[in-house]
Amino acid sequence: MNPAITHLVEAIPPSDAPRSHDWARVEEELGTILPSDYKQLVDLYGGGLFDDAIWVLEPDCPNKYYDLVTENHDRVEAQHGLWRGGEPKPAELAEAGSRTVAWAVTENGDCLYWLARPHLEPDQWTVLVKEGRGRDWEFHTQSCSEFLQSILLTGDTESEMFYDFPSEEPHEFRSSSSFL
């Protein structure tokens, strides 16, 4: 198991039985292979809310508002609208073929993406966080599981958008299906 996910599972046990996902179908719908740590995380936890702050998106989510595929289709349109409206496009996305792939959202409207670059394998993608109510982007040279571990548990990642993390224990994960 990925070391960051092992640490997450030890500190924040999954609330439901693991679910299987048809990753080949999901990746075909998204038009990209997904990072292996994300697939492992979602197979263990499903989609849901970590520490009342970070919603991990899940394919075929029982709660339609946190479905990975739907959210990604919506985010592509939203980003193009921002850039057409004059918001500056981050320089990291200027490379031909680079794009964002959403994997989580926050209660504040922020979106957590991977920076998908054409010359990198998905397991090499890093995390971008887009401020929900502003123009700021943060770039973190970590995988999604490393980012979650660092923000939620260790505090090793500095972030203006997650300035009040890590939170005090006990940590919690609530499955998206528990919000239906």
For residues 106-115, give the mean pLDDT. Answer: 92
Q: What is the pLDDT of residue 125?
A: 96
For residues 21-27, give the mean pLDDT. Answer: 96
Beta-carbon neighbour count of residue 48 at 10 Å?
25
E-assigned strands of the chain? Answer: 48-50, 54-56, 99-106, 111-116, 126-130, 137-140, 173-175
Q: For the whole model, what pTM was predicted?
A: 0.93
CA–CA separation, 109 vs 107, rounded Å? Answer: 6
CA–CA separation, 27 vs 42, rounded Å? Answer: 14
Q: In the CATH hierarchy, which top-level class contains the domain 3-156?
A: alpha beta
DSSP SS3 for 54: strand
Q: What is the pLDDT of residue 176?
A: 86
Task: Look at 167 and 33; give whichever has higher pLDDT.
Answer: 33
CA dihedral (14, 18, 22, 24) in degrees, to 10, reads 60
